[in-house]
Amino acid sequence: MSILKVARMGHPVLRTRARALDVGEVRSAMFQTLIDDMIATMIEYEGIGLAGPQVHEGVRLFVAGMESGHEKMRVVPFINPVITPVGEETVDGWEGCLSIPDIRGKVPRFKHVVVKALDRRGQPFELDLSDFPARVVQHETDHLDGTLFFDRIKDFRSLTYLEEYGRYHAEREEE
């Protein structure tokens, strides 16, 4: 496995809509290596999700850590994801991004979503997600559409550097 270079805000790949994949591409050895490399890269940089465009690949793929109870975090590849909000409730929450290092901001997202995608074998699956996991898949799917979390911020006064987030905001979120 290789650690991939992460595109930073300003690179055109982050503002370009990624193309859908067909099942033949998904099952190829080269694509399977890309999935493994993206997982290794996400873990190396201590991310919770990573999308194809963030590693200079304009394909509709992201990997994300999904909580699985008391077990170790499970990293799931999502190929050609489609998100459907369940209800209209949105929640403001802190987000960061490996492509915008050391910055955090409050972003409104749907509280509850259903995501349909293909797994790494090209088989369809569906997840019903709420709260933080729902936020993660919305953030990563945005990358596939050329959208960054800055584009969704309603109040830019929430922007903060990671160090100040940890010092002044992180504890409040846990209360």
The tens digit of pLDDT for each residue in 100-153 reads 999 999 999 999 999 999 999 999 999 999 999 999 999 999 999 999 999 999
Q: Do 101 and 68 form a contact (C-beta atoms < 8 A)? A: no
Is 1 part of any domain?
A: no
- Least trusted range by pLDDT, from 4-8, 71-75, 102-106, 151-155: 71-75
Structure tokens at 163: 């160090």
Q: How many domains does the chain have?
A: 1
Task: Choose among 174, 49, 158: nearest CA to 108.
Answer: 158
Is 80 part of any domain?
A: yes
Is 4 part of any domain?
A: no
Is 7 part of any domain?
A: no
Q: What is the CATH number of the domain that holds 49?
A: 3.90.45.10
Is 150 part of any domain?
A: yes
Is 2 part of any domain?
A: no
Whether 174 sits among the annotated catalytic residues: the reply is: no
Is 16 part of any domain?
A: yes
Report whether pLDDT(175) > 60: no
Gyration radius of the chain's alpha carbons: 16
Structure tokens at 130: 């709420």
- Over residues 154-165, the pLDDT tens digits come to 999 999 999 999
Mean pLDDT of the chain: 94
Question: How far apart are the C-alpha atoms of 120 and 122, rounded to whole Å?
Answer: 5
Catalytic residue among 67, 140, 163, 171: 140
What is this structure's pTM?
0.94
**Domain that residue 61 falls in:** 12-174
